[in-house]
Amino acid sequence: MEYKQVIKDFNKEFTLNFNLNYTDKTLSEPSEKSKDVLKKNGKNVHSSFIKFYSEVGSYSLDWQNTIELEADVAGSVKILQPEKVLSDWKEVIYFEDDSSLKYFKVFDQFSEDACCGFYTTESKSEPHHVLYYYDFHNEAFSLHLDLEGYIQMMILSKGFLYWQKVLLDYLMKKESGNTKLMKNNLHKVFEDFDFKNFIEKYKAIKL
């Protein structure tokens, strides 16, 4: 996947959609600082993330619907710069040095209440190419997606806030408010969105 071009193309959807207002859709280039951090710490990161950060420095997206709906919907993506991703998340993600989350790194901090991330190769118990959902309270839940799959589902969901939780609902065979909100309203903001296709795509690429 050519990550930079894929995200550039994704951004065009928000410029041309008059059903929403976007307040951010910033795609940054890799900085020299980011490159230096990856040189020093890249050995602990799966190669897919190294490739991503060779093309993209960071990416943030925020949008809200402007049309009348049963309930307001929004989108949020905040893929962090590698120097932030690979920093020490003690007192934020983990508190004790023997915590299983010590080697968990936040990749997409899309909300104050939840994020998605990956484990570095220093973790001996978790796969390093898989993205996990973490709500800052419970354990990190595997999305069963590699980085390419994560970006594909992010784009298909239009960056819908908590789209990751919708996938966990599917895995757990339940329907939370997030799933109902997406199912009942997102297609009204994006005419090409189809919830059934969203789930079918996930089933096709899930690890």
Tell me the domains of the chain and their CATH numbers.
3-205 (3.40.1580.10)
Helix axes 32-41, 47-55, angle to 10 degrees: 170
Reading the chain (207 residues) residue by residue, the pLDDT tens digits are: 999 999 999 999 998 899 999 999 999 999 999 999 999 988 899 999 999 999 999 999 999 999 999 899 999 999 999 999 999 999 999 999 888 899 999 999 999 999 999 999 888 888 999 999 999 988 899 999 999 999 999 999 999 999 999 999 999 999 999 999 999 999 999 999 999 999 999 999 999
For residue 138, the model assigns a pLDDT of 82
For residue 78, the model assigns a pLDDT of 98
pTM of the model: 0.96
